[in-house]
């Protein structure tokens, strides 16, 4: 068992292991939101400019930001290790259930419990719940001492699985399930193709670019150069893409935020509950299955995190940049980042007090 003093020292160094950009990401997100709101207030015509630069329902600047923040993350994924999942089929099965059954159901329930009178925000939350994490979980898992190889496999599989499952699940939870409970006026009139198109564009394009980038440079320049030279330079630009997207979005959403700050708080509360509940449910399930700590931590952070980049892309592509659905999606990273940093400390405390699986 890890000595408590060693654990405390490890916890104290958690934030120091992050880059400056990652370490203060919640602050940067707040600043980007504030900048966007200010721009929208002092330059009210900026919304018309962004709307004029649109391709369908998606603003061109937003599209650029969304595609770029997805690409570096997907270029990091170790797709060549997908075959190793056969060696941990039980663990993968648990992760599959957590990510694609339990997670969406919990978010659906929380959305309806917390936001019964706010259907557009509720839809945005459900969209977030369906977007399984493929990005920041790599960082949380590393800091918590999880299994990095297994995490890479789960991230790669979630990336591919989202292409297949996101669209039908979104249609199912948005248009089908509410009718089962007689929820009148809550069915979202959206075709499966509308969602599939956003997923294919904003996940399919950067996924293909990430796969091509990885295998080309691994062959041309080698793994060491790719992991120690290219990725440290390319990786941080994903967060820059996220911040740029948030600035543009909030410049178009600022008037709504200022007009109804209580609604924003109401969206934040179910998100907070969701991240915490998913983390502990996943950890408990891993303990029950007698997984070692490293696998339990990886399962928990993968299940508790969400792909807010994809959620934002789908909300924007389906409901437009000025929608409440898009605003709900963009609140996601604002809540997720500080909560998951806190859960890293919780995981380290669990590691110091109790070894999962009796090892």
| pLDDT confidence band for 354 (50 / 70 / 90) | low
Tell me the mean pLDDT in the region 244-270: 81
Task: Look at residue 55 and tell me if it is in a domain.
Answer: yes
Percent of the chain's residues with pLDDT above 70: 81
Q: Which of 157, 175, 173, 168 is nearest to 77 (CA)?
A: 157
What does residue 191 show for φ and ψ, rounded to 5 degrees? -80, 155
| Residue 287 belongs to domain spanning | 22-349
Mean pLDDT, rounded, of the chain: 79
What does residue 298 show for φ and ψ, rounded to 5 degrees? -65, -45
**Residue 129 sits in a domain of what CATH number?**
1.20.1530.20
| pLDDT confidence band for 261 (50 / 70 / 90) | confident
The tokens for 298 are 């990886």
Greatest Cα-to-Cα distance within the chain, rounded to the nearest angstrom: 62
Which tops the pLDDT comparison, 64 or 134? 64
Q: Residue 279's pLDDT is what?
A: 95
Task: Look at residue 68 and tell me if it is in a domain.
Answer: yes
Task: Look at residue 2 and tell me if it is in a domain.
Answer: no
- The rounded distance, in Å, linking the Cα atoms of 351 and 7 is 8
HEC string of the chain? Answer: CCCHHHHHHHHHCCHHHCCHHHHCHHHHHHHHHHHHHHHHHHCCCHHHHHHHCEECCEEHHHHHHHHHHHHHHHHHCCHHHHHHHHHHHHHHHHHHHHHHHHHHHHHHHHHHHHCCCCHHHHHHHHHHHHCECCCCHHHHHHHCCCCHHHHHHHHHHHHHHHHHHHHHHHHHHHHHHHHHCCCCCCCCCCCHHHHHHHHHHHHHHHHHHHHHHHHHHHHHHCHHHHHHHHHHHHCCHHHHHHHHHHHHHHHHHHHHHHHCHHHHHHHHHHHHHHHHHHHHHHHHHHHHCCCCHHHHHHHHHHHHCECHHHHHHHHHHHHCCCCHHHHHHHHHHHHHHHHHHHHHHHHHHHHHHCCHHHC
Task: Look at residue 270 and tell me if it is in a domain.
Answer: yes
- The rounded distance, in Å, linking the Cα atoms of 258 and 252 is 12
Q: What angle do CA 67, 68, 69 make, to 5 degrees?
A: 95
Q: Residue 192's pLDDT is what?
A: 64
pLDDT tens track for 59-107:
688 778 878 877 887 888 777 766 665 556 777 888 889 999 999 999 9
Task: Look at residue 163 and tell me if it is in a domain.
Answer: yes
| pLDDT confidence band for 7 (50 / 70 / 90) | very low
**Domains in the chain: how many in total?**
1
- The rounded distance, in Å, linking the Cα atoms of 112 and 82 is 36
pLDDT tens track for 10-63:
444 555 655 666 667 768 878 888 898 888 888 877 777 776 776 655 668 877
Task: Look at residue 232 and tell me if it is in a domain.
Answer: yes
pTM (2 decimals)? 0.76
The residue behind tokens 């075709």 is 191
Task: Look at residue 128 and tell me if it is in a domain.
Answer: yes
Q: Which of 289, 226, 243 is nearest to 93 (CA)?
A: 289
Task: Look at residue 267 and tell me if it is in a domain.
Answer: yes
Residue 4 scores a pLDDT above 50: no
| pLDDT confidence band for 126 (50 / 70 / 90) | very high
């Amino acid at each position: 068992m890890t000595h408590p003093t060693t654990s405390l020292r490890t916890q104290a160094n958690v934030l120091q292991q992050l880059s400056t950009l990652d370490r203060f990401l919640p602050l940067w997100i707040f600043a980007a939101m504030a900048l966007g709101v200010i721009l929208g207030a002092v330059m009210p015509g900026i919304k018309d400019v962004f709307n004029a630069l649109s391709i369908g329902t998606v603003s061109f600047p937003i599209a650029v930001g969304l595609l770029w923040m997805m690409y570096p993350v997907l270029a990091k994924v170790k797709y060549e290790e997908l075959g190793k999942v056969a060696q941990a089929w039980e663990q993968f099965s648990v992760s599959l259930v957590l990510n694609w059954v339990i997670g969406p159901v919990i978010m659906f329930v929380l959305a309806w419990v917390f936001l019964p009178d706010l259907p557009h925000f509720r839809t945005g939350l459900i969209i977030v719940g369906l977007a399984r994490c493929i990005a920041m979980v790599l960082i949380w898992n590393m800091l918590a001492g999880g299994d990095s190889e297994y995490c890479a496999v789960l991230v790669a599989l979630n990336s591919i699985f989202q292409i297949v499952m996101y669209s039908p699940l979104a249609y199912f939870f948005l248009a089908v399930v509410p009718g089962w409970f007689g929820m009148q006026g809550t069915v979202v009139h959206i075709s499966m193709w509308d969602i599939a198109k956003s997923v294919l564009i904003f996940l399919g394009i950067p996924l293909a670019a990430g796969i091509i980038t990885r295998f080309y440079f691994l062959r041309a320049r080698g793994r060491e150069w790719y992991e120690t030279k290219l990725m440290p330079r390319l990786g941080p630009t994903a967060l820059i893409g996220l911040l740029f997207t948030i600035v543009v979005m909030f410049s178009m959403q600022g008037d709504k935020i200022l007009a109804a700050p209580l609604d924003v708080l109401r969206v934040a509360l179910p998100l907070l509950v969701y991240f915490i509940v998913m983390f502990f449910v996943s950890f408990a399930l891993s303990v029950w299955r007698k997984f070692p700590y490293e696998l339990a931590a990886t399962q928990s952070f993968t299940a508790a995190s969400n792909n807010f980049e994809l959620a934002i892309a789908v909300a924007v592509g389906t409901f437009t940049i000025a929608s409440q659905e898009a605003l709900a999606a963009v609140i996601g990273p604002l809540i997720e980042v500080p909560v998951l940093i806190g859960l890293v400390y919780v995981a380290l405390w669990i590691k110091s007090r109790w070894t999962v699986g009796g090892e």
